[in-house]
Amino acid sequence: MTLCVRSPLRIDFVGMTDYRPACAEMGGEIVNAPINKYIYATLRPRQDGEFHFHAPDQNGLDFSVPTRRELSKDGPLGLVQHIVKKYASPSGLDLTTYSELPGGAGLGSSSAVATCVIAAVNALTGYCMTDFEIADAAIEAEAEALDVQYGWQDQYSPVTGSGVKYLRWWPGGSHRGIEINILPLTAEQMADLEKSLVICYTQQSRPAGNILAKVADGFRDRDESVLAGLAGMNECARDIRIALLNNKPHRLGDILNRVWELHKSLHPDVSNDLLENMHKVATDNGALGGRVCGAGGGGTMMFYCEPGTEYTVKRRLEEAGGRIFDFSFAASGLQVWRTPNG
């Protein structure tokens, strides 16, 4: 049997507030939504003890590791190798992973890969992890393999299903767990959001690791702009939740602009001339507001548009060098299934 897994990527209306040490002190609040663009993993067991890896979206990367003991987080696909070494059977496997969207798009692909691989190995070995345990295992694996303390939204979002979500880490630590609220929007509200949102890849991969590390340093150093920026973004997450629950999506434009200004206050590398030009092009042609997804510095921008202007916004952004991602909200979250070998 072959195991197949897919994990949706996400757009985040508010992100960056999931630095875990900051969450323990001041809480963290996020609004995001899985979209119908996916990370895929295909896994087949082997009996010869070898581990074969294939990543066709990374210039056809293809390599093998002779034994489980030789798997290393310092090698190619280091996070994937670390997960396989930690959870897989020593009998070996073939693993193929790829993303439908470019790496560095700021849509949570690294964490989606981690959840995909853990879910696949979980199904193969019969560990019987719950969805939340898979998310926690992905957070732990990224901390171990990549030495990061940033992030929980991208691990929890795919395993908790579809819909626009308000996610919260309560101050004082994670003893209450991650709170996931799927906003009870009607089909019409979801369709209206899909129509009004424009998702544009800037064609510039963003240096997420550097930005996240610098924001973490700013928090540890008690940088006032970082502390105020994270607190303000938490407030924006609450405002977006209330706006959507009260069926006032037109408020999203102003709030997204607030998020963007707060995001930029975290570190100068968050924005650049390209992103500022993309924002101006969009807002000059009907977008009411917008921001960059993920850490910033490049990647993907999202804009909320005045009704009837979204087509023009898309075309003008393309003329400015952007790539439009047509999308809908994902119908489901992380999925695992078995398919017979042909």
Rounded to the nearest 5 percent, the helix, strand and coil shares of the chain are 45, 25, 30
For the entire predicted model, the pTM comes to: 0.92
Opening angle at CA 19, ends 170 and 76, nearest 5: 135
CATH architecture of structural domain 187-324: 2-Layer Sandwich (3.30)
- Whole-angstrom distance, CA of residue 89 vs CA of residue 67: 11
The SS3 of residue 177 is coil
- Choosing among 3.30.230.10, 3.40.50.1240, 3.10.180.10, 3.40.50.300, the CATH entry for 2-184+330-339 is 3.30.230.10
pLDDT of residue 282: 98
Residues contacting residue 196 through CB under 8 Å, at least 6 positions apart = 249, 252, 304, 305, 307, 310
Contact 94, 125 (CB under 8 A): no
Counting other chains too, the contacts that 172-180 makes at CB distance below 8 Å and 24 or more residues apart are 172/24, 173/24, 174/20, 174/23, 174/24, 177/132, 178/132, 178/135, 178/152, 180/156
At 176 the pLDDT is: 63
- Map out the domains of the chain as residue ranges: 2-184+330-339, 187-324
- In tens digits, what is the pLDDT along the chain, a chain of 342 residues? 799 999 999 999 999 999 888 988 899 999 999 999 999 999 999 999 999 999 999 999 999 999 999 999 999 999 999 999 999 888 999 999 999 988 788 898 889 999 999 999 999 888 889 998 999 999 999 999 988 888 899 999 999 999 999 999 988 755 567 899 999 999 999 999 999 999 999 998 766 778 888 888 999 999 999 999 999 999 999 999 999 999 999 999 999 999 999 999 999 999 999 999 999 999 999 999 999 998 889 999 999 999 999 999 999 999 999 999 999 999 999 999 998 765
- Residue 21 tokens, joined: 């040490």
